[in-house]
């Protein structure tokens, strides 16, 4: 017997559309809250993307989206590079034995220790965010006897105007990069730094964009900017880093996909039109590769009604799954039931606010999820939770246990890929006066 979920669109298989043996779900149901990722979906997303885009496009997995070692391992095995943003993320590359020439480092605040570690590890590029950061990196590279390849991040004078975009990262006043209008002053000074090799430009405007036409327009403007810089400074830049931006539709399951065919064919046309066939085009992608593949599962502990609102109180919330609150974007939610019970619960749907266990009113991870009448003990599945889930959350708040992470393997078996962390572990890193008394 299989396990199914009931939603406004009817019964569907659990976990990214795949059938899972009832015994497997029964085992995991006792371990809520937990995340589970569908490996087949991750592999499909990567392969479809790389098959569609021009051959000079190099895809880097932005591990900030989900740094689970197994997911990073699987994506790099497929051919992805790694985009990191901290020394902790560099440690992921070291742990997995991923060579530095497959890693790029971006981020607005890099310490000297992080820069030195990156140079020693032989990173393919470090994306510098200011002239001062470049000067610091030049001095570090000189001390280590290296010439470090870099990209310069530009805060362009244009933006992506998409209502679906999760976060704007370019245009206007930003902490990221060098303002476009400052380039005529900054570039000549940067090019004089002898221990840096400026390989190209990095321009990243927004994340979570669903309209392919907007991404195409943005790419055209980035290419135009790079071409103008090459003319003005009489220098070829062999790398153009477009950042990420390819979105996932969180409004429904399965939702509206980005038109990958249109985006990829238009990218090919732009490469030809600008004569960029000899350039490496970089895409730093996180949610697009893993977002759809993840499901966060919680158990209903209580059902209550408060002044016109039905609440489902569950055993996990923003301490594990903060994204819906942080960016005000609900995820599709479904009730998970054994197939034998599904027919009994086909009834009028009602909106539920789904609240977690934290002592704060913001711990509501769904504001109006349309669900059948809920009961204590029910399991709820939050879909498209593969990106910016566990590690983006307020994990230590109120000292609840961290959830486990599982991987649904391509053969249908389930593997534990992260142990749940006991909150008592937090105590081991603290110091206090022993033999003290409290009254």
Average pLDDT value for residue range 177-183: 92
pLDDT-derived band at 189 (thresholds 50, 70, 90) equals very high
pLDDT, position 9: 38
> Is the distance from CB of 134 to CB of 155 less than 8 angstroms?
no
In this structure, of 172-176, 219-223, 304-308, 314-318, the range with the lowest mean pLDDT score is: 172-176
- For every residue of 84-149, DSSP letters joined together read E-SHHHHHHHHHHT--GGGEEE--S---HHHHHHHHHHT-SEEEE-SHHHHHHHHHHHHHHT--EE
Token pair in block for residue 54: 């021009």
pLDDT-derived band at 436 (thresholds 50, 70, 90) equals low
pLDDT, position 170: 52
Residue 211 phi, psi dihedral angles, 5° rounding: -90, 110
Region class of 25: left (phi > 0), else alpha (psi between -120 and 50), else beta: alpha
Cα separation values, 8 from 5, 182, 293, 332, Å = 10, 52, 21, 11
Within 13 Å of residue 330, how many CA atoms lie on the same side as its CB?
19
Nearest of 108, 104, 119, 122 to residue 59 by alpha carbon: 104
pLDDT, position 340: 63
> Is the distance from CB of 282 to CB of 58 less than 8 angstroms?
yes
Tell me the per-residue pLDDT of 195-228, one tens digit each, with 9 for 90 and over: 999 999 999 877 789 999 999 999 999 999 999 9
Cα separation values, 228 from 189, 244, 274, 348, Å = 18, 22, 11, 60
Q: Rounded distance, CA 382 to CA 191, Å?
A: 49
pLDDT, position 425: 86
Tell me the per-residue pLDDT of 381-407, one tens digit each, with 9 for 90 and over: 898 999 999 888 888 888 888 899 999
> Is the distance from CB of 41 to CB of 382 less than 8 angstroms?
no
Average pLDDT value for residue range 233-251: 93
> Is the distance from CB of 419 to CB of 404 less than 8 angstroms?
yes
Mark 158-181 as b/e (b = at least 16 C-beta within 10 Å): bbbebebbbeebbbeebebbbebe
pLDDT, position 19: 35
Query: How many residues would you count in the chain?
Result: 439
| Greatest alpha-carbon span in the chain | 76
Q: Rounded distance, CA 140 to CA 18, Å?
A: 50
Q: Which residue has the higher pLDDT, 436 or 195?
A: 195
pLDDT, position 254: 64
Nearest of 377, 355, 373 to residue 364 by alpha carbon: 355
Q: What is the mean pLDDT of the chain?
A: 88
Q: What structural domains does the chain harbor?
A: 3-37+292-427 (2.40.37.10), 106-285 (3.20.20.10)
pLDDT, position 409: 93
pLDDT, position 255: 65
Q: Rounded distance, CA 38 to CA 18, Å?
A: 8
pLDDT-derived band at 93 (thresholds 50, 70, 90) equals very high
Tell me the per-residue pLDDT of 251-269, one tens digit each, with 9 for 90 and over: 876 667 899 999 999 999 9
* Strands annotated E in 162-223: 167-168, 178-179, 196-202, 206-207
User: What letter would DSSP give residue 2?
Assistant: B
Q: Is 224 helix (H, G, I), strand (E, B) or coil?
A: helix
> Is the distance from CB of 119 to CB of 168 less than 8 angstroms?
no
Q: Is the pLDDT of residue 100 over 90?
A: yes
Nearest of 40, 29, 112, 26 to residue 294 by alpha carbon: 40
Average pLDDT value for residue range 339-351: 74
Q: pTM here? A: 0.90
Tell me the per-residue pLDDT of 20-77, one tens digit each, with 9 for 90 and over: 445 566 678 889 999 999 999 999 999 999 999 999 999 999 999 999 999 999 999 9
Tell me the per-residue pLDDT of 300-313, one tens digit each, with 9 for 90 and over: 999 999 999 999 99
pLDDT-derived band at 439 (thresholds 50, 70, 90) equals low
- For every residue of 48-61, DSSP letters joined together read HHHHHS-TTEEEEE
Residue 153 phi, psi dihedral angles, 5° rounding: -80, 130
Residue 26 phi, psi dihedral angles, 5° rounding: -60, -40
Token pair in block for residue 214: 């907007």
Q: Rounded distance, CA 211 to CA 381, Å?
A: 27
In this structure, of 45-49, 94-98, 434-438, the range with the lowest mean pLDDT score is: 434-438
First to last CA, the chain: 56
pLDDT, position 339: 62
pLDDT, position 17: 35
In this structure, of 2-16, 80-94, 374-388, the range with the lowest mean pLDDT score is: 2-16
Residue 221 phi, psi dihedral angles, 5° rounding: -70, -35
Q: Is the pLDDT of residue 188 over 80?
A: yes
Average pLDDT value for residue range 233-246: 95
């Amino acid at each position: 017997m299989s396990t199914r979920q009931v939603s406004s669109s009817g019964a569907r298989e659990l976990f990214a559309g795949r059938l899972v043996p009832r015994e497997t779900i029964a085992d995991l149901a006792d371990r809520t809250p937990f995340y589970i990722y569908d490996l087949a979906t991750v592999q499909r997303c990567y392969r479809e993307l790389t098959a569609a885009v021009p051959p000079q496009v190099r895809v880097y997995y932005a591990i900030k989206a989900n740094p689970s070692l197994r997911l990073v391992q699987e994506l790099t095995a497929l051919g992805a590079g790694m985009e990191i943003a901290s020394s902790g993320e560099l440690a992921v590359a070291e742990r997995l034995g991923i060579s530095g020439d497959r890693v790029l480092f971006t981020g607005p605040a890099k310490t000297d220790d992080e820069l030195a570690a990156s140079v020693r590890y032989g990173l393919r590029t470090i994306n510098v965010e200011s002239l001062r950061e470049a000067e610091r990196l030049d001095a570090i590279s000189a001390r280590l006897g290296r010439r470090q390849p870099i990209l310069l991040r530009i805060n362009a004078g244009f933006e992506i105007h998409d209502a679906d975009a999760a976060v704007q990262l370019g245009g206007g006043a930003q902490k990221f990069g060098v303002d476009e209008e400052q380039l005529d002053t900054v570039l000549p000074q940067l090019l004089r730094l002898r221990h840096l090799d400026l390989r190209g430009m990095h321009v990243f405007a927004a994340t979570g964009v669903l309209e392919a036409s907007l991404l195409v327009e943005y790419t055209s403007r980035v290419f135009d900017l790079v071409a103008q810089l090459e003319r003005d400074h009489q220098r070829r830049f062999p790398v153009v880093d477009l950042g990420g931006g390819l979105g996932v539709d969180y409004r429904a399951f399965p939702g509206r996909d980005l038109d990958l065919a249109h985006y990829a064919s238009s990218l090919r046309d732009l490469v030809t039109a600008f004569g960029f066939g000899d350039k490496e085009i970089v895409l730093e992608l996180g949610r697009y590769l893993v977002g759809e593949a993840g499901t966060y599962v919680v158990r209903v502990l209580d059902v209550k009604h408060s002044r016109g609102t039905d609440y489902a109180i569950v055993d996990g919330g923003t301490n594990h799954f903060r994204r819906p609150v942080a960016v005000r974007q609900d995820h599709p939610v479904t009730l998970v039931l054994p197939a034998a019970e599904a027919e009994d619960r086909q009834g009028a749907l009602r909106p539920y606010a789904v609240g977690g266990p934290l002592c704060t009113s913001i711990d509501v991870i769904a504001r109006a999820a349309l669900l059948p009448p809920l009961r204590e003990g029910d399991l709820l599945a939050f879909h498209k939770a593969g990106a910016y889930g566990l590690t983006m959350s307020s994990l230590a708040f109120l000292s609840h246990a961290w959830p486990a992470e599982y991987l649904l393997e391509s053969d249908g078996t389930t593997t534990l890929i992260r142990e749940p962390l006991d909150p008592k572990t937090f105590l081991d890193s603290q110091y206090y006066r022993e033999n003290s008394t409290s009254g």
